[in-house]
Amino acid sequence: MFVIGLTGPTGSGKSTFSAMLRESGFFVADADAAARAVVQAGSPVLDELCEAFGADILGSDGTLCRKTLAARAFSSPENVRRLNALTHPAIERTLFAQIAAHPEARGAVIDAAALIESGISEKCDLIAVVLAPGEERLRRIMLRDGLTEAQARQRMQAQPPDAFYLEKADVVLRGYAPFDPQTELRKLLERVPV
């Protein structure tokens, strides 16, 4: 199955393109959903995260307190790398298992902010990068995740610059106004074999 890796910095508009690709017959494997699945209470990945970031990342019910983990993990590039090393292998296995379970789809899309850093991009047939200006991304992240400006900026600073994504991009999609999403989608679909 042809696999599109859809990536870009947080708040760039990947979800918009994922939804459009799903409507076009693609199976969309969401790395954020896979990331939540691999850290369920009692999972080996959750145990490893506790060892790396402290047992107090768990709530009293044994589930992950995402805000506590995020505050620690996004506090430095080293901590982001540690988080990724612990979670990415399990996320990758989950994503490709989901894709294998949908052979009827036109193709597959892996929607992942850390597609390149995780190495998953190496298993994709095409890399599509969605970009948007920093201030637009900041506004979206604050609204979407209920973060303060300082928290949102911290997340943004923990990610690579646009040049990092552009270096790996086969297709660059504009994720901000003014743009015609259908035109951007056609630009991507022209690169997908029938």
pLDDT digits (tens, 9 = 90+) for 69-83: 999 998 888 998 899
> How confident is residue 84, by pLDDT bands cut at 50, 70 and 90?
confident
Number of structural domains the chain divides into: 1
In a domain, 67, yes or no: yes
Kindly tell me if the per-residue pLDDT of 130 is higher than 90: yes
105 inside domain: yes
Percent of the chain with pLDDT strictly greater than 90: 79
Average pLDDT over residues 23-40: 95
pLDDT value, residue 28: 98
Instruction: Give tens-digit pLDDT for 92-126.
Output: 999 999 999 999 999 999 999 889 988 999 999 99
- Which tens digits make up the pLDDT trace of 141-190? 999 999 999 999 988 988 899 999 999 999 999 988 777 888 888 989 99
Residue 47 has a pLDDT of 96
Task: Give the pLDDT of residue 179.
Answer: 74
Of 47 and 157, the structure prediction assigns the larger pLDDT to: 47
pLDDT tens figures, 4-15: 999 999 999 999
pLDDT at 159: 86
Residue 21 covered by a domain: yes
Is position 9 within any domain?
yes
Residue 110 lies in a domain: yes
pTM of this prediction? Answer: 0.84
Can you list the pairs that 152-157 forms with residues at least 24 positions away whose Cβ atoms lie under 8 Å?
154/74, 154/75, 155/10, 155/70, 155/74, 156/9, 156/10, 156/11
CATH number at residue 137: 3.40.50.300
Spell 80-109 as b/e; 16+ CB within 10 A means b.
bebbbebbbebbbebbbebbeeeeebebbb
Residue 96 lies in a domain: yes
**In which domain, by residue range, is 110 found?**
3-189
Tokens of 23: 């409507």
Residue 194 lies in a domain: no
